[in-house]
A = this chain, B = another copy of it.
Amino acid sequence: MTSQFNTLYALDLLGTAAFAASGALAAVRKKMDLFGVIVLGIVTATGGGVLRDLLLGDAPPFCFKNELYLYLAVITSIIVFLSPRRFERMGRAMLFLDALGLGTFLVIGTSKALAFHLGFAGSVIMGVMTGTFGGLIRDTLSNEIPLILQREIYASACVVGGACFYFLNDTFVPPAINLTVSALVVILIRGAAIAKGWHLPRA
């Protein structure tokens, strides 16, 4: 473990907590009970990585090999359950943490897909899925049309970041720089989209 991967691991855990909080908040708004809040917290935090590992044939998925992800999601969900207003007031800070998690999950997913010898489309899809699938299940379980399918520059920021990672991976750029640059691409596009209210076109 070099420091670059320790940093990535720390960001991964931070993103996991941020995603778990967003799932738990959605459950609180739908008036689910404590169990429902924890389930939506776990699913939102780990769903993307679990689906990626299933599709790559790497069972059991990451969070069953290192249960820290599961405990972190459970604890975060319980904290949200006990004081949801504190998290709702965080507004902007939550959006920033969410973008940080999105960028981190994207590079982890894309780099793992490349390690499993997937091609361009497959690697980008695995990255996008790692970043966004948890939120998609969260919305489906809350009986809403998934936000990522109808709103804002979100998953599309992941597509750009994933393509960036794929192409830099074939160059002399060292992995640590690539991971950082590609994650930053996602975070900056997502941040600018929030700040400026950017949208993708609709038909």
Chain A positions near chain B (C-beta within 8 angstroms): 27-28, 30-37, 39-40, 42, 50, 54-57, 59-61, 63-64, 67, 70-71, 74, 81-82, 84, 116, 118-122, 125, 136, 140-146, 148-151, 154-156, 159, 199-203
Contacts and interface: CB of A to CB of B under 8 A. Distances in A.
A71 B121 contact: yes
Contacts of A67: 119-122
Chain A residues touching B, majority SS: helix
A131 B151 CA distance: 30
Given A60-B116, A140-B140, A32 B202 contact: yes
B64 A54 contact: no
B203 A28 contact: yes
Nearest to A154: B35
A146 B141 CA distance: 7
Contacts of A202: 31-34
Nearest to A70: B121
Contacts of A151: 33
Contacts of A55: 50, 54, 59-61, 64
Given A30-B150, A35-B155, A141-B146, A118 B200 contact: no
A203 to B, nearest CB: 4
A43 to B, nearest CB: 10
Contact of A150 (B32, B54, B146): B32
Contact of A201 (B33, B64, B142): B33
Contacts of A155: 35, 39
14 contacts: A27-B149, A32-B145, A32-B149, A33-B151, A33-B200, A34-B202, A35-B154, A35-B155, A35-B156, A37-B203, A39-B148, A56-B60, A67-B122, A70-B125
A74 B74 CA distance: 37
